């Protein structure tokens, strides 16, 4: 059904100003008009003030206040106009059935099926091959988007720059001497030469803590890893990779600030609480002949969060 029944042949209906649906909602129209006019005036002034404030580069709170107030008054007036000074209705509109007639639906289906069958029945092989070609095209079209984006991971996820003999330095490149940290001290360290490299910082970052030598629990095979109470763990949380920089000195706990995984530094940074699944990998240390702290070798496992290839 369409609007043709309201064609020019039959005259359009005329409503009278007395119709109840055309009445406005305001009980005191003059007063309402005045209020709305006042709002518009205030809005105008405030928006103008915003313009001046912007030109003069005044503080953000002045800009926001003037602009916000201006648009508030304008909006308030406009809404009030629409609500109180316009015909209150209610008005009705017919919903025309969205669906087409049976006959039209049948003809649509027929158009696809019959014309399609005529073509495909005689050219089935062509159709099949075209479908195959389009499918492969679709897959291959994604290749530039995916494969060009980046390199394959290979071993990058498992290696850091810590090697046998790497000098332990802080963020300013200063090496660590035996008496520099006292028990309870903490320092973020990197292998020498990499302390300013923002790229490798993400995997190299290591937290160095000095504990009381007697407090440390020696893990099997790690007897020489913590000389003089100096113990070093990867700073990359094994949960989601946040730097575990929160050290509670008396509780001997490293807490990850992101999701509150808690690691005990005395027994190999085993997680005590929270979502982290694995201990923080430990970096074996030793003091060289000049008294500087170095790494015995790199980490014995991939640092940071888990991934599929991690065994």
Partner 1 sequence: MTPTALRRPRTKREATAALGPYGRLGKAIGELDDRLGIAKGGRTFLDKIFPDHWSFMLGEIALYSFVILMVTGVYLTLYYVPSTAEVIYHGVYAPLRGQRVTEAYATTVNISFAVRGGLLMRQMHHWSADVFLGAIVIHMARIFFTGAFRKPRELNWTIGLTLLLLSLANGFIGYSLPDDLISGTGIRILYSIILSIPLLGSYLAFFIFGGPYPGNEIIPRLFIIHVLVLPAILAALIGGHLFLLVRQKHTQFPGKGKTEHNVVGSPMFPTFIAKTTGFFFMVTSVTALLGGLAQINPIWQFGQYRPAKISYAVQPDWYMGWLDGVLRIMPSWEFTGFGHTIPFEVFLPAVVFPGIIFTLCFGWPAIERLFTKDNEIHHLLDRPRDRPKRTAAGAAVAALLFTTFGASATDVLANFFHVSLNAVLWSFRVLVIVVPILVGVITWKICLELQHGGPDLGKRKRAMVVTRTAAGEYRAVPSEIRPGDEHRELEPVPVPALIDLDDGSLEVTAGNTRPDAEGVRRVIR
Partner 2 sequence: MTRARQLRALLPAALLVAVGIGGLLSLASDAAAASSSGLSSLNGAGTEGTAHSPVAPVQPPNTGTSNSSVKVYKHGRLVAYGNQAIRYSYPPTSYVPAGQALYEEFCSSCHGTEAAGSTRAPNLVGLGPATIDFWVTTGRMPAENQNAVEAPRKPAKLSDLQALEIAAFVNSLDPSEPAIPTVNTKGADLAVGAELFALNCAACHTITGAGDELAYSTSAPSLRAATPTQAAEAIRTGPANMPRFTGNLTDAQVRDVVAYVTEEIQHQSNPGGLALGGVGPVAEGFVALLFGVGGLALVGFWIGDRS
Distance CA 166, CA 143 (A): 41
Phi first, then psi, for residue 152 (nearest 5°) are -80, 150
Q: Residue 257, interface with partner 1 (CB under 8 A)?
A: yes
Indicate the residue among 1 and 137 with the shorter CB distance to partner 2: 137
Helix 29-56 to helix 60-84 angle (10° resolution) is 160
- Sign, CA dihedral 219-224-230-231, equals negative
The least CB distance from residue 225 to partner 1, in Å, is: 22
Which of residues 1, 5, 30, 90 is near partner 1 by CB under 8 A? Answer: 90
Contact call for residues 309 and 291 (beta carbons, < 8 A): no
Q: For the chain, how many residues are written? A: 311
Q: Residue 54, interface with partner 1 (CB under 8 A)?
A: yes
Stretch that binds partner 1, among 114-122, 149-157, 222-230, 279-287 (CB under 8 A): 149-157
The least CB distance from residue 11 to partner 1, in Å, is: 8
Q: Residue 17, interface with partner 1 (CB under 8 A)?
A: yes
Q: Residue 171, interface with partner 1 (CB under 8 A)?
A: yes
Distance CA 188, CA 295 (A): 14
Contact call for residues 187 and 170 (beta carbons, < 8 A): yes
Distance CA 50, CA 67 (A): 5
Distance CA 239, CA 177 (A): 32
Interface with partner 1 in residues 212-231 (CB under 8 A):
none
Which of residues 71, 200, 264, 296 is near partner 2 by CB under 8 A? Answer: 200
Which of residues 255, 265, 269, 280 is near partner 2 by CB under 8 A? Answer: 255
Long-range contacts of 92-97 (CB under 8 A, 24+ apart): 96/1, 96/2, 97/1
Indicate the residue among 78 and 167 with the shorter CB distance to partner 1: 78
Contact call for residues 161 and 169 (beta carbons, < 8 A): no
Interface with partner 1 in residues 102-141 (CB under 8 A):
none
Which of residues 42, 85, 185, 278 is near partner 2 by CB under 8 A? Answer: 185
Phi first, then psi, for residue 249 (nearest 5°) are -65, -45
The secondary element (H helix, E strand) that includes residue 132 is helix 124-147
Q: Residue 252, interface with partner 1 (CB under 8 A)?
A: no
The least CB distance from residue 191 to partner 2, in Å, is: 7
Which of residues 262, 265, 266, 303 is near partner 2 by CB under 8 A? Answer: 262
Interface with partner 2 in residues 32-61 (CB under 8 A):
59-61
Stretch that binds partner 1, among 52-60, 103-111, 133-141, 208-216 (CB under 8 A): 52-60
Indicate the residue among 17 and 125 with the shorter CB distance to partner 1: 17
Interface with partner 2 in residues 231-250 (CB under 8 A):
243, 245-250
Tokens standing for 152?
Answer: 């394959």
Indicate the residue among 99 and 125 with the shorter CB distance to partner 1: 99
Tokens standing for 89?
Answer: 């209705």
Interface with partner 2 in residues 106-135 (CB under 8 A):
124-125, 128-129, 131-132, 135
């Amino acid at each position: 059904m369409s609007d043709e029944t309201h064609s020019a042949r039959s005259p359009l209906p005329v409503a009278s100003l007395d119709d109840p649906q055309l009445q406005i909602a305001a009980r005191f129209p003059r007063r309402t008009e005045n209020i709305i006019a006042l709002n518009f005036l205030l809005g105008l002034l405030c928006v103008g003030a915003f313009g001046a404030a912007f030109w003069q580069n005044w503080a953000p709170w002045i800009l926001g206040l003037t602009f916000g107030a201006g648009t508030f008054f304008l909006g308030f007036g406009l809404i009030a106009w629409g609500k109180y000074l316009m015909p209150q209705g209610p008005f009705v509109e017919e919903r025309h059935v969205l669906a087409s007639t049976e006959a039209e639906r049948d003809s649509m289906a027929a158009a696809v099926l019959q014309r399609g069958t005529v073509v495909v029945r005689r050219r089935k092989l062509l159709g099949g091959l075209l479908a195959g070609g389009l499918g492969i095209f679709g897959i291959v079209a994604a290749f530039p988007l995916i494969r060009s984006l980046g390199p394959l991971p290979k071993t990058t996820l498992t290696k850091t720059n810590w090697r046998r003999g790497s000098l332990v330095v802080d963020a300013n490149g200063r090496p660590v001497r035996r008496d520099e940290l006292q028990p309870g001290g903490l320092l973020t360290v990197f292998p020498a030469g990499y302390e300013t490299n923002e790229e490798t910082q993400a995997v190299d970052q290591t937290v160095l803590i000095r504990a009381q030598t007697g407090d440390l629990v020696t893990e099997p095979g790690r007897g020489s890893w913590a000389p003089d109470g100096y113990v070093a763990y990867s700073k990359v949380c094994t949960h989601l990779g946040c730097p575990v920089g929160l050290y509670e000195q008396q509780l001997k706990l490293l807490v990850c600030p992101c999701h509150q995984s808690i690691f005990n530094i005395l027994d190999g940074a085993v997680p005590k609480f929270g979502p982290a699944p694995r201990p923080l990998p430990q970096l074996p240390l030793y003091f060289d002949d000049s008294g500087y702290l170095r790494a015995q070798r790199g980490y014995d496992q991939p640092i940071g969060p888990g991934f599929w290839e991690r065994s």
